[in-house]
Amino acid sequence: MDSQVWVALALSLVGGFSTSLGALFVILNQAPNLKMLGLLQGFAAGLMLSISFFDLAHNAINSIGFLKGNLWACVESMTAVTNLSNRLQSRTNEVQHLNSQLALLQRMYKDARAEISVLRAENKELKRKATVMFRLGGPPYAAVEEQGVNVLGGVGNPEATSSRAVQDGGKKKRPAAE
């Protein structure tokens, strides 16, 4: 037989055994990991594409000539690598921009949380002062000018009137004897 027939037969057997070996690995693995299966599938696809490419590239180089074929293959490879590099660089710049925006938003969130804590402490202090003033006999709705808070109550305020009735325990006052 011709030597090329033996080479073709050997390569076909190697491809078949490799496929069988990959299938055996998947069958013996009881709980397949999705990451591992994705990796193996990507490797198999890349291997098949590279084999097809090199088989076709070899025939193309033989048909147009060795020097001219290698020259075009080199130019196309450099163009592909340059395009891939530019795309990866633009993606890297986008990721860096997003990371800087994320850092800015995290700082803003931290500042807002700190401001909320300060406002809660001020609110707690104002409630404490109002409670103390109420217990000491002051009006329940006091104007606290030093804090910049003006809570109005008293005459003409229906909410203040109804809340005072609740504070008095609903007791009706007797009219004073004249």
Span 40-73, pLDDT tens digits: 788 888 888 887 787 777 777 777 777 777 787 7
Percentage of residues of the chain with pLDDT beyond 70: 76
Is residue 111 in a domain?
yes
Percentage of residues of the chain with pLDDT beyond 90: 16
pLDDT attached to residue 110 = 94
Q: How far apart are CA 36 and CA 58, in angstroms?
A: 33
Nearest Cα residue to 40 out of 19, 17, 58? 19
The structural domain count of the chain equals 2
Pair 120, 94 in one domain: yes
Q: Are 106 and 115 in contact (CB under 8 A)?
A: no
Q: Which domain holds residue 60?
A: 27-64
pLDDT attached to residue 141 = 52
Pair 115, 52 in one domain: no
Is residue 80 in a domain?
yes
